[in-house]
A and B are shown apart, each in its own frame.
Chain A
Amino acid sequence: MSLLYDWLIGPFADFGFMRRALAACLALSLGSGAMGVFLVLRRMSLIGDTMAHSVLPGAAIGFMLAGMSLPAMSLGGFLAGLLVALASGLVSRFTPQKEDASFASFFMISLAIGVLLVSTHGSAVDLMHVLFGSILAVDDGSLILMASVASTTLMVLAVIFRGLVAECFDPLYLRALNGRGGLYHVLFLTLVVLNMVSGFQALGTLMAVGLMMLPATAARFWVREVWSLICLATLVAFVSGYIGLVLSYQFNWPSGPAIVLVAGALYLLSLAIGPRDGILLPLLVRRHLRS
């Protein structure tokens, strides 16, 4: 019993930085779970990845101007991500180029600028910090930012939920009703960028998207409705955060990759045994239902 306590609860009871890291995981899960579900439903899973990388130059400029200042880096990252999202959206709206191609183009430009800026004005340690984050070094300011982003995400999502669902399902119908489909799209992309920025302090720009996408893709093997997908993705994200932190503490692993790897393991488990299109179920249960 004591061993179990030492493994699962002890690190959080004994160390403030572990408690803050766990609270950060909860905040990130609450915002990222819903964002990931909508990215998957809108077939924008890889666009989420490109957006995560596109915050880098903004964060780097924030770092150049104010050093390791979270508000400066977050604001810079947010503006850079938003710029890439808006530019890509405008190109796909006003030219025949599809959104994935324009996102890929702008994100590569953005990433290259970001790496160049960090490399010429910072050290390799700074670059590693931005790319991979450090959830165990989350301070009160970061925690407040993450909680604020999660709260804002859930509140805005509650307000635009019906419009966002309509815009995902049948965009032409909503546009014909003058339903401002473009507005929901822009608000949604803004929320995604906000959550990316919230996540990069903890997990880095490379890993932040992992806690957004993997729980959402895993949830699709268990439930179907949008609300249940969001709830389950949020739960999977938090459980991944908790187990990842425990493994990170016990085995001295870097925390960001540990968290994302746990989310990846839960995805593979869902892929195997999930009751909704999981690959093992049809092999185990061969009998079909009555017509």
Chain B
Amino acid sequence: MIKISHLKKSYGVGESKVDVLKGVDLEIGAGETVALVGKSGSGKSTLLSLMAGLDRPDSGAIMIRGKNLNQMSEKELTLFRAQNMGIVFQQFHLISTLTALENVSLPLMILHNTEAEQKARELIDEVGLSHRSGHLPSQLSGGEGQRVALARALASGPSILFADEPSGNLDEETGERVMDLMFDLVKKTKTTLILVTHDKELAKRCSRIVMLEHGSLV
């Protein structure tokens, strides 16, 4: 499903240059749930951003479903990401001027799905927010916001779900409930999950834990 070879990434130039990833090799199979763990600055979020095509590596290759992300143009990469990947962010990042339903239907509409609204309603229902579908993000609680973000990430039926500290902004109880929902949905849809977290308990729920230290896998 995902094959990463000799992946390197650094930020800054000259003396302030920091090598964040120093030649990472990693393979992740379809349907696997993988937790990327490590201390702050270990490179886990950078690795996630490269795998999700949110950024470009300095060298190395990322193959997803047989396609090399590095060889894609920005436009091709954008389309590939929209069709194959979903992302959940720590800060939810819902569009403040769109309702919960519109936030969920947006990725489907970008892909010109003719049943976008219907499908979005089903997903909103699935995350238990059908009564809040017409509300704006500012009218939702943290847990509700992250559930909307989860529904949006899964809306286009991606084969991979990237989650960046998904419970980091939620209280323990709410976080747990949202994570239960995420793992249920991932299992149900047989989606590959790649999760960046500091939470050891959450990491343990994944089928594999990958540890990063100073830009390398350990």
A-B complex is real: no
The interface of chain B, by Cβ under 8 A from chain A, is none
